[in-house]
């Protein structure tokens, strides 16, 4: 039975309410991956924080599902705007980190495949790089690769590229 008075807004349908609750439950599930320190910074109430801590320890499927439903219920009273912002920032950070990591891997592979010609590519990305040190690391890594040895020099090259990346940021 809906109230169809002219001045009153229409109440959300039962399906809409269910979708909203499922969204809050999913949001609560994503909060399980956050540190307690971050959750406190978001201003999450103590009851919800305790429920999240309890959910982290639950391994049984049914019990975990019920706990997530309870978290969704508690989330109804919380302003979710800062939580959404924190999740978006976390996703952006993970994406940026992955992209940077892949770039470093690509530069290392280019150095190993093309030799001294790849140094120009690295210097294009990181002009502050020491050309001689880079050449030496790449040479050692290629020698190591040809001898089918463990990639110790390749790892050193990657760490040097990461240091260069951190310096340029």
Which of 62, 78, 94 lies at the terminal end of a domain, its last residue? 78
143 falls within a domain: yes
Q: How far apart are CA 48 and CA 73, in angstroms?
A: 9
| Residue 3 pLDDT | 55
User: Looking at residue 162, which CATH number applies to its domain?
Assistant: 1.10.60.30
Residues 92 and 161 in one domain: yes
Q: How far apart are CA 35 and CA 22, in angstroms?
A: 23
Residues 109 and 39 in one domain: no
Q: What is the pTM of this model?
A: 0.59
Domain holding 32, by residue range, is 14-78
| Residue 4 pLDDT | 59
| Residue 109 pLDDT | 92
- Residues in Cβ contact with 5 at an 8 Å cutoff, skipping those fewer than 6 apart: none
| Residue 62 pLDDT | 94
In total, how many domains does the chain have? Answer: 2
Residue (of 96, 95, 110) closest to 161 by Cα position: 110
Q: What is the mean pLDDT of each run of 10 residues along the chain (169 residues)?
A: 65 90 90 88 89 94 94 90 86 90 92 87 90 92 91 92 89
| Residue 2 pLDDT | 54
4 falls within a domain: no
């Amino acid at each position: 039975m809906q109230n169809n008075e002219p001045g009153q807004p229409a109440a959300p349908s039962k399906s809409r309410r269910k979708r909203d609750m499922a969204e809050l439950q999913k949001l609560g599930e994503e909060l399980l991956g956050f540190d307690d320190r971050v959750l406190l910074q978001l201003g999450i109430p103590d009851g919800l924080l305790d429920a999240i801590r309890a959910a982290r320890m639950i391994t049984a499927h049914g019990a975990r599902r019920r706990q997530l439903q309870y978290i969704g219920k508690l989330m109804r009273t919380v302003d979710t705007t800062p939580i959404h912002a924190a999740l978006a920032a976390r996703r952006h950070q993970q994406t940026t980190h992955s992209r940077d990591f892949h770039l470093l891997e690509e530069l290392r592979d280019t150095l190993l495949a093309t030799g001294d010609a790849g140094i120009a590519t690295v210097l294009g990305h990181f002009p502050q790089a020491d050309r001689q040190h880079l050449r030496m690391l790449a040479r050692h890594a290629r020698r190591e690769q040809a001898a089918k040895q463990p990639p110790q020099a390749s790892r050193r090259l990657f760490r040097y590229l990461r240091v260069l990346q951190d310096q340029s940021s």
